[in-house]
A = this chain, B = another copy of it.
Amino acid sequence: MKTNNPELNPSRTSKTPVDLMIQGGTAVTMAPGQQPITDARILIKEDRIIEIGPSAEIPIPQGFPIETVDARDAIIMPGLVNAHAHTAMTLFRGFADDLPLKEWLFERIFPAEANFLSPETVYWGALLGCVEMITSGTTCMADGYFFQDQTVRAVHESGLRGLLAQGIIDFPAPGVPDPKENIRIGRDFLEKWHHFSDRITPGLFCHSAVTCCEKTLRRSQEISREYGTPLQIHLSETSMEVSEILKAHGKRPAQYLDQLGLLDSHLIAAHGVHLDKTELQCFRKKNASIIHVPESNMKLASGIAPLEGITAMGIKTGLGTDGCASNNNLDLFGEMDTAAKLAKVSTGRSDVAKAYQMLKMATLGGAAALGLEKETGSLERGKKADIIVVNLKSPHLCPLFDPVSALVYSADGSDVKDVIVDGVVLMKEGVLCALDQDEIMAKVIEISKKIRL
């Protein structure tokens, strides 16, 4: 975890992990087939879970622990995985709502990004996003954006885990004025960060199969393979995108990517709203991942992804919030609730998209999509200690017939009280341990005052 990279602010760097015990409460582990554990105890040595089970079955070793997290009247669960985010876009939260999609993108978001993104603004925007993620129970993210060194810096300093990808697009972009340089800049990014930290996986993010040409898509994939990292892309978000790809290439989006050789177990496609059955079969066959982003797809009127079909086929599926310009928050608890309800109403079946399935998509499912399921996404001995504790002492979580139902249908991010990532306590009893929330918010407010079009 150590670094002497001069770009990083040492005063924010997370402290060294200490031995830790989480005690009491019900553990919803998300380990396949495991029932909730009541009166649970979890022992953490450095960055890993070394014991988990009922308190009665797990003795406390002598001299252990140094620090205790009290989980009585609470649920202990894996930290949530936000599998599709543009974290620094907190800067544009509420800047452009209720507009037709084209006006929103071309007259508001793209110009705002062109005029107001800089290494400094991306850093503070990403740091605010990290604060929001920690305080609402997200411990791992898949992010794609520009000036991505700054998101690495913010995520590193925050203590979170992430697949952080440099954006690739065949147009002039923030930090990439000449699109001919986009692949070189992407490669430099991977080279710079790929040995930096086991909390941070650098990657590439192709903006879409419309805004990246064949060559860009192929080169991005080759370089991603070279560095052994997943490739992210927005895919089949709008019906217009599908039409354009059909018109240009005579194939639907998934088949087009498949033809280019992009569709494999390392591909992470966000949205997937308009994928048809044949395309889903391609995803299944090639073991590629789809990230469900329901709230953003609703707010931008992009459509309703066929979640039930996707999960029924056994396709790897994560859950994401998208950026704050189209959601407008990073609360994955709300996203699970919406995902379940939207799937039910859109299929006319109240028995699909069950609570456990939503929780899995937001934890182990997202981890698997990111290629991190051996390390995070569930509470199991030997895995990284990426853990959150959800306070049950709130009226909206009473009574408690089923902890999974409470997490998906009744809770929101504000119910999270403790957050641990890589064995380090990032929030305890609702108070951030390292980041200075007031300073970060003040800085973003200062930046936001200049954002005008």
Contact = CB atoms under 8 A, between A and B. Distances in A.
- Of A99, A135, A344, the most chain B CB neighbours within 10 A belong to A344
Contacts of A451: 401
Contacts of A128: 395, 398
A326 to B, nearest CB: 9
A399 B445 contact: yes
Given A351-B99, A409-B97, A301 B344 contact: yes
Majority SS at the chain A contact face? helix
Nearest to A412: B412
Contact of A412 (B104, B330, B331, B437): B331
B445 A398 contact: yes
A345 B297 contact: yes
A413 interface: yes
B399 A101 contact: no
A334 B414 CA distance: 13
Interface stretch (A24-32, A335-343, A372-380): A335-343
A354 interface: yes
A358 to B, nearest CB: 10
A441 interface: yes
A168 B345 CA distance: 28
A43 B56 CA distance: 58
Contacts of A409: 94, 97, 299, 327-329
A151 interface: no
A364 interface: no
A95 B401 contact: yes
A300 interface: yes
Given A97-B355, A299-B350, A409-B328, A398 B441 contact: yes
B98 A301 contact: no
B90 A398 contact: yes
Contacts of A437: 395
Contacts of A187: none
B331 A396 contact: yes
Interface in A150-190: none
A447 B401 CA distance: 12
What's the interface size class on A, roughly?
Answer: 35 or more
Question: Which of A90, A353, A405 has most B Cβ within 10 Å?
Answer: A405
Given A298-B341, A304-B345, A327-B409, 18 more contacts: A90-B399, A94-B402, A94-B410, A97-B409, A98-B350, A100-B350, A295-B341, A298-B345, A299-B341, A299-B344, A299-B345, A300-B344, A302-B345, A328-B409, A331-B412, A338-B338, A338-B341, A399-B447
A347 interface: yes
Nearest to A130: B395
A215 to B, nearest CB: 33
**Of A324, A328, A355, most B-chain CB atoms within 10 Å:** A328
Interface string A379-414: 000000000000001111011111001100110111
A444 interface: yes
Given A329-B396, A410-B93, A414-B414, A299 B340 contact: yes
Contact of A395 (B91, B132, B415): B132
B441 A393 contact: yes
Contact of A99 (B301, B342, B348, B350): B350
